Amino acid sequence: MTDQDTPRPVRIAVGLWLATAVFVVFTTAGLWFQRGEVQRLTNWSSGQVTSFLATLSGVALVFVAAYVLLTRLFLKRRNWARITLSFVAIAHMVWILFVGISASNLVTLLLICAAIVFTWQARTAQWIAEVREP
């Protein structure tokens, strides 16, 4: 399959899913560099901040791995991967709302919403239906 065989909405969706994964990695890493600020804002001990950041990093890693793996399978025209990507994205959005809204979280939410829109466009569904899974 060449890049020319893949419709533009699919390429955009793939780019948005991967951009979401990369953005999550960078924002999570950025929190580690701002751990002093996190400690100041929360009045938590150093251990509590470390535990919090480790939990956020673990959850972020799960979402990033899911986005990368499922996007790869989506590119192989697996419809179940498209469905699973959407469910993972919804779970990620709920997680973001649970953790709290920040500027970086709003960007993540926008990336996810845009990715879902392109993932479920009619041309994308047609492209997936052209090759049925074995």
Domain-embedded: residue 2: no
Q: How much is the pLDDT for 131?
A: 77
Q: How much is the pLDDT for 4?
A: 63
Structural domain boundaries enclosing 83: 8-130
Query: Which helix (H) or strand (E) is 59 found in, with range?
Result: helix 46-75
Domain-embedded: residue 95: yes
Q: How much is the pLDDT for 52?
A: 94
Domain-embedded: residue 3: no
Residue of 3 and 126 predicted with greater confidence: 126
Q: Coil, helix or strand for 132?
A: coil
Domain-embedded: residue 1: no
Q: Is the pLDDT of residue 13 over 60?
A: yes
Tens digits of per-residue pLDDT, 61-109?
A: 999 999 999 999 999 999 999 999 999 999 999 999 998 888 999 999 9
- Tell me the helices (H) and strands (E) count for the chain, helix number first: 6, 0
Q: Is the pLDDT of residue 54 over 60?
A: yes
Domain-embedded: residue 40: yes
Domain-embedded: residue 83: yes
Give CA–CA dist 134/78, Å, rounded.
10
Give CA–CA dist 22/65, Å, rounded.
11
Domain-embedded: residue 96: yes
Number of domains the chain contains: 1
Domain-embedded: residue 109: yes
- For 48, the token pair is 């509590």
Tens digits of per-residue pLDDT, 24-49?
A: 999 999 999 999 999 999 999 999 99
